[in-house]
Amino acid sequence: MFSLFPALVSGSVADRSALRFGDRSLTYAELAASAGALAARLDGAGRVALWATPTLETAVGAVAALLAGVPAVPLNPRSGETELGHIVGDSAPSLVLAAPGDTLPAALGALERIDVEVTTETAAEEGAEAGVEAEEGTEVVVGVTAAVRDPASPALVVYTSGTTGPPKGAVIPRRAIAATLDALADAWQWTGDDVLVHGLPLFHVHGLIIGVLGPLRRGGSVRHLGRFSAEGVARELDAGATMLFGVPTMYHRLAEALGEDPGLAEALRGARLLVSGSAALPLHDHERIRAATGRGVVERYGMTETLMNTSVRADGEVRPGTVGVPLPGVGLRLVEEDGTRIAWYEADGTPAGAYDGESVGEIQVRGPNLFTGYLNRPDATAAAYSADGWFRTGDMAVLDPDGSVRIVGRKATDLIKSGGYKIGAGEIENALLEHPGVREAAVAGEPDADLGELVAAWIVPLDLQAPPSAGELADHVALRLAPHKRPRTVRFLEALPRNDMGKILKRELPRD
Ligand code: MCA
Ligand code: AMP
């Protein structure tokens, strides 16, 4: 039978720590009991929303939904009313899973709520309760629905921003999760003996799928920091954690902290693997971390729609600036605007074509790691694929002579990557235009040492003499969309630069 969590279902590592958030933790047996009991209550539900705070309850809720074969829609608990309203309207969940005591916003008020109860009693102790049977040699056998058996059935719907319009729900099948996690296990020699530490949010692929479901699929452990801090990373690495996952902003902050904290360098040196992803890790941060710790940071490249595509291998050489080679099972090619193939990998993994470190093309991928489409958006799904069925990532890259992928840019200038979050400029412009003091708005990314890019806004106010304050506009966006989408820089103009067709010329926006 296809199972996403063999170790959980078989009971083979019943007493091992599965999840730890702060001072609360669950062994595999306890997780099986908690998630198993909840899964029994979810059996037959439609899609369920998951109030994805960085807590044990979110991890248990996600595992329960997966055990029950019910697709889960993780929600950013900081989402504003417009964003949340859109996601709930679009994904139409039948109920919402949340931690007991969490206050939910009005946009979720109409939904049935199920509290995620975490128990430290095992199924064996509780007996066969609420649909959970304890069998000899196993800790939990959860009611198996057809969806659980079918690797093609949807597991998660993860919302991701595009250049224009509201976020789209990427439907991620069970097969993709299994395929990507097993491919990473191969690339990183990732086993049940690994203990992962991270402080990533749990409503995106990186933190939830790679960072929580990843260790659970291996039968290993995850320790979540609740919120990222250099001290937390050092503490957990000192206390036996073997791997660290983070976005480049987190590695930047570690690099900054290294100067003041010799203990941090020691802790990082002790890790088996330091992994960065979601955006490019700047060379300067690579170098500072290597100089202080002797350790290279492994980069992997993925996307909500594709999960993971490439990685530097644990047994390979870390060359800053590259994201490694395609993961097992992933087809990857670089393609010119007119569809001409520039460089690609043969089925046996050898590079072909112009792998010269110079010829730039769009990365296109295919494989079992891909999503099945955008929810309710067949038009957008069709547009995401080439005529011959490859997913168009929009990322531009070269293949180096050793076959490594080096990402050099992005096709769409209206996509911003800030702190590892993908943010669509159009979505923020629309929110800004709803402010009564704004006549015109343009949004673009600006380089930033900490966030990679920051969200910058150019505003033509209704009244040039009395423009709204930058803080007011930031709050306006944070309350409607999400705090990470708020403009960090606001400049006021008399008019936006436009071409004869009236299109805003973003390259001509004044930057000081
Ligand atoms: C400040 N705050 C505000 C406002 N100003 N809140 C509301 N309105 C305002 N005007 C609050 C924030 O909510 C936050 O609250 C605090 O002030 C600090 O905010 P901020 O500066 O935005 O946070 P940060 O500390 O700079 O965040 C950096 C970060 C974060 C921790 C690195 O960007 C992050 O977690 N990034 C991870 C992104 C990620 O996981 N991406 C994966 C996407 P408080 O302090 O209370 O929190 S998946 C993906 O990309 C693919 C698949 C892949 O390859 O992985
Ligand atoms: P998201 O839609 O949030 O899943 O973000 C996916 C995008 O993040 C990709 O299309 C890339 O542009 C970017 N990305 C992810 N990992 C890396 C990496 N290691 N280096 C550079 N860009 C990355």
Under the banding of pLDDT at 50, 70 and 90, the label for residue 120 is confident
Backbone phi, psi, residue 393, to 5°: -75, -25
Residues 38 and 139 occupy one common structural domain? yes
Atom of ligand 2 nearest to the CA of 160: 2
Q: Which of 383, 403, 423 is the last residue of a domain?
A: 403
Q: Is 93 found in the same domain as 179? A: yes
Domain range for residue 428? 415-508
Are residue 120 and residue 100 in the same domain, yes or no? yes
Ligand nearest to the CA of 322: 2
Q: Are residues 58 and 166 in the same domain?
A: yes
Q: Looking at the CA of 410, which ligand is closest?
A: 2
Residue type, 251: Y
Going from the Cα of 421 to the center of ligand 2, the distance in angstroms, rounded, reads 9
Could you tell me the distance, in angstroms and rounded to a whole number, from the CA of residue 419 to the centre of ligand 1? Answer: 7
Q: Which residues line ligand 2 (CB under 6 A)?
A: 160, 205, 277-280, 299-304, 323, 393, 395, 407, 410, 417, 422
Residue 260 lies in a domain: no
Query: Same structural domain for residues 374 and 480?
Result: no
Which of 453, 452, 410, 455 shows the shortest CA–CA distance to 429?
455
Inside any domain, residue 165:
yes
Sequence-distant (6+) residues with CB within 8 A of 45 are 68, 70, 94, 95
Compute, in angstroms, the gap from residue 313 CA to the centroid of ligand 2: 18
**Within a domain: 241:** no
In a domain, 34, yes or no: yes
User: Domain check: are 421 and 399 in the same one?
Assistant: no
389 CA → ligand 2 middle, Å: 21
User: Which tens digits make up the pLDDT trace of 357-411?
Assistant: 999 999 999 999 999 999 999 999 999 999 999 999 999 999 999 999 999 999 9
Residue 358 lies in a domain: yes
In a domain, 215, yes or no: no
Which ligand is closest to the CA of 423, given by its number?
Answer: 2
Instruction: Report the distance separating Cα 354 and Cα 98, nearest Å.
Output: 51
Q: Total structural domains in the chain?
A: 3
Residue 3 has pLDDT above 60, yes or no: yes
Domain boundary among 192, 215, 247: 192
499 pLDDT exceeds 90? yes
Same domain, 121 and 158: yes
Nearest to 201 by CA among 92, 383, 75: 75
Same domain, 337 and 445: no
Amino acid 502 reads G
**Chosen domain end from 164, 192, 220:** 192
Same domain, 387 and 431: no
One domain for residues 16 and 165 = yes
Residue 407 CA, closest ligand 2 atom number: 21
pTM above 0.85, yes or no: yes
- Residue with CA nearest ligand 2 atom 7: 303
Distance in Å from the first CA to the final CA of the chain: 60
Any domain includes 231: no
Q: Is any atom of ligand 1 closer than 6 Å to the C-beta of 207?
A: yes
The SS3 of residue 35 is helix
pLDDT digits (tens, 9 = 90+) for 286-332: 999 999 999 999 999 999 999 999 999 999 888 899 999 999 999 99
Q: What is the pLDDT of residue 130?
A: 45
Residues 133 and 96 in one domain: yes
Cα→Cα distances 239→189, 253, 267, 271, 439, Å: 21, 21, 9, 11, 55
**CATH (domain of 333):** 2.30.38.10
Do 36 and 136 lie in a common domain?
yes
